[in-house]
Structures are given as C-alpha cells and as structure tokens.
Chain A
C-alpha cells in the first residue's frame, strides 16, 4: 500500500485505526468483509491497549 493512501485521523477511544477508515483504504473487498473486520479490530484493540498501558500504571 502506498503511503499516500493512509489517512490522518483522530481515533475514537478504544481504537487506533478504526475499521471504517481502513475499509475505505482497502476499497471494495471481494470476500467476506466480516472476517477481515473482526481480525482487524482485535489487533487494533491490542495496539490501543499497548499504547495506553504506558500511562495506566
């Protein structure tokens, strides 16, 4: 993916790069969107927790 496709954003609490944004960058998905979305959101939540972990001691 080219860097120019990546959008700047203010992520909602609990997210880093919400699926809504990523879906726009992917464009039309040829297969089952829910599978991709579900796994994307799991890892996105993990990343969010990792980032905020550092200030939640």
Chain B
C-alpha cells in the first residue's frame, strides 16, 4: 500500500468513526476549495465556471501551492457547482452565470419563478418524471420550448452530452484527489427534502407559501409523490455507494420560514420518509441544515440513530449536542460570517470552543457551518484547520 493510499485509509477510518458517533484519534476536519480561492489566483469566476479543466487545475494549484502544509481529512471538492454550458445549450432560465448576464467576476444567481403552475399539480403528482420531461423542461428552457423542433432536438442532445461530459470530468478530478492527495470525499450522491424540490425549483417560495393556504392537500400529495424519487436520485448519484453519506442541502425548513405547525405538517414527514428510505438501504444523509434549525431538534431526534450527519450552521450548537449528540454525528459550526469578517485569532477561539462543546466524546467533524463565501479570507480558513489539529486530538 502506497503512502497516499495509507493516508486515505487513515482519514477514511477517522471519518467513518465519527459518522458512527465514535471517537477517532483526532477530530476529522472537512474542507473545500470554494469560490474564495479564485481571489488568490489569476482566474476569473467565469473561467472557473465555464472551463472545468481550469476549475480542476485551480483546485490542484490551491492544494499544491497554498495548502500543502495544512492537514485535513475530508474534501468537498473545488469551486463551481454546475457547468454552465449544459444550461446554455438548453437556453435555461434557471440561472444567470458569470460571463453572459453577470460580470465575469460575479458568482451565479438563481432566478426563482413559479415554473410549475397551480393547475399543474395533478399532472405532476400522477406522473412526476413524465411531467418533468414533457412540461417542465420546455418551460424552463428557451431552446427546448418546442420539443419537436430542430432547435429543441439539438439542444437536448447537447445538454445531455454536457451532463455526461461534466460527470466524467468530475470523476477524473475525484480520482486524483483521492489517489494523489489521499483525501476522502465528503459525500456521494445528492438529494433534497421533497418540500424543497417543490418549493425551490417548481413552485418557488411565493408559490408554495400561497399553496400552504390555498391547496394544502396538493402540497402534501406532491411531497409524497417526490419521496421515492429523492431516494432513487440519491442512490443513482452515489452509484449505489453506502459508505459515504449523500448530501441534502435543506432550504425552506430553516426557522422561521415556516411556523412550527407548518413545518411539522408540510416539511418534516416527507423529508423523514426520504431519510428513513435511504437508511433502510444503508445510506446516511448529510442533513445540511442551512440557517437555524434549533426549534426542530426534538423532532429531528426521532430519526433512526446515526441515519443523518447534522450540519450546524446557525443552529444552537450546545442545544444540538444536548438533543442529538451521541445518536447522530454533528458537523460544522464554524461561522461562515466569521470566516469572512473575523480574524484568525477569533476563528481559532471559535474552533477551540466548538471542539470543547461538541467533540468531547466523539461524533464530531470540524468544518464551516455553511457554504464558505467568495470573500472569505484564506488566513481564516487556514486558522480553522490549524486550530482543528491543535485542539482536536483525543
């Protein structure tokens, strides 16, 4: 076994031990090369988004030249969540990417609309995949607006090809990061809460909040219809892997978008069903609780032991430890605001406090609590990793 392979196994064991609420030799540290890194290179965000080779090269450059002396275990990948050419090929209305409608140094923007109309609920519920393919894709994509046309046919060919090409590129990048750097991927597979699938991409925030009053039964039926798809989508994305958790960024469930009653009735049951469905297959979910989820911790504690990894963003960390600790791995907690506006000393203090509060009996992974912003200071990120190794030894 080579050095990097040994390192990979060591880090993987550390990660898996913490995921199972155990106490590894050190607190595992998770880190990503996000958009912040672009500020320390000659590239623009447009180049990073549009050219996947540039994105991978930049990530490798950061790992080789900026981070070589920093020791962390779990890697979340490089900047750029999507490859814009796939969206451009279809004439997508969903996003504005740097370079066309936004400055080349800007991050992307999501354009939220009611892409699914209230009268579409029944057709969607009856046959979600067919509805998405035949109604939703033509609605959200200008090039695909007339599916039998020449432009639409070409657009679909190009976009599906781009989806495959992008997946292939990412696969090669991950092979390098695991084999040559010994990093463990933070997750395999992606999914969402059914309420978020409906609220983010189909009905939009305004639409779904009105639906809670005007057509609550449709919302519940649509969420129920989405549950098995979000389980299937996670497992397909993970290619069947059950070693690593799948990531689920959770949006509208954060307090106080919904009242406690609304959350319990509309948000939680279908998300719980997805988690339980995945766990029945041995697949854990990284419960990316963006924002504050403190009021819901008692309900979340109803989940099967170890079925989630709970990410602490602005949720009360002490309360999360009290309610979830020992039964679910806790992850994150380092304020993303602090990583942008704080000092290295403040970040180190934050890490010391978090490890003291959350890691004492294992089951904790040190990481930023949310997506690290593009203007985060690298010295703060480095301070997080250094302090994690200094204070995170059992």
Listed in ascending order, the chain A residues whose CB lies under 8 Å from chain B are 10-16, 45-57
Residue among A14, A45, A56, A57 making CB contact with B110, cutoff 8 Å: A57
Closest Cβ of chain A to B262, distance in Å, is 22
Contact B233–A49 (Cβ < 8 Å): yes
Task: Please name the residue on chain B nearest to A14 by beta carbon.
Answer: B232
Interface pair B94/A54, CB less than 8 Å apart: yes
Q: Are B201 and A57 in contact (CB under 8 A)?
A: yes
In contact, A51 and B232 (Cβ under 8 angstroms) = no
B42 at the interface (CB under 8 A from A): no
Q: Contact between A48 and B232 (Cβ–Cβ < 8 Å)?
A: yes
**Given A48-B236, A57-B201, A11-B129 contact (CB < 8 Å):** yes
Q: Is the CB of A55 within 8 A of B202?
A: yes
A55 to B164, CA, bound (A): 17
**Residues on the B chain within 8 Å of A49, using CB:** 163, 233, 236-237
Check B191–A54 contact: CB distance below 8 A.
no
Q: Which residue numbers of B lie inside 8 Å of A, CB to CB?
A: 82, 94, 110, 126-127, 129-130, 132-133, 136-137, 140, 159-160, 163-164, 190-192, 197, 200-202, 228-233, 235-237
Known A-B contacts A51-B137, A57-B94; A13 and B228 likewise in contact (beta carbons under 8 Å) = yes
How far in angstroms is the closest Cβ of chain B from A20? 16
The residue that B232 contacts in the complex, of A13, A46, A50, A55, with Cβ under 8 A, is A13
The answer to whether A56 and B191 have CB atoms under 8 Å apart is yes
Bound complex: CA A26 to CA B86 (Å): 33
Interfacial chain B residues near A50, Cβ < 8 Å: 159-160, 163
